[in-house]
Amino acid sequence: MARKLSPEEIQVFKELFDSYDTDKGGNITVEEFAKVMSQSPGKQPTAEEVQQIVKEVDLDGDGTINFNEFITMMTGQTYPPVDDEVDYAKAWKQYEPSLKGSITQSQFRQLVAGLGEPIGDVEIDRIINNVDGEGKITFQEFETFMKNRKLVDDIVKGYQ
């Protein structure tokens, strides 16, 4: 079984991740990763090599490295650990059984509230409107949002 990361270790990874994520978009793009790699000592990777590294680390296939993928890359273990995850799929299926479609803003609000997550209207509007511009969210986008949200909560709890 993989060792659980301490809040302090997660915070160190978060600070390093944020230094790579120069546009503060919540993901490290190929361009941002290439910039960091170009500043590292030693042989500089080609653009193709950088793209290949990002592709290998990009577990959700969105073309970028999110924070969970970054920790996975840095530690060699899946983050967050699978046994600590909430069953987001089960909760999602109450609104959209196939996991392949999307749900509305109202359904998203109900879903998140049902999971006991405090979330305001402004944050819901920001998430929904940033995702696809159609006022809907897919399961993959929902799951990424919830995992990143849990991660931030864990970091904050480490300092309380």
What is the CATH number for 47? 1.10.238.10
Average pLDDT of every residue of the chain: 81
89 and 70 in one domain? no
Contact 2, 78 (CB under 8 A): yes
pLDDT at 116 over 60: yes
Question: Rounded to the nearest 5°, which phi and psi values hold at 104?
Answer: -80, 170
Average pLDDT over residues 59-84: 80
* 12-38 tens-digit pLDDT: 999 999 999 999 888 999 999 999 888
Please give the residue range of the domain that contains residue 57. Answer: 7-75
* 127-158 tens-digit pLDDT: 777 655 677 888 888 888 887 777 666 565 55
Q: How many structural domains comprise the chain?
A: 2
Rounded Cα distance, 120 and 129, in Å: 14
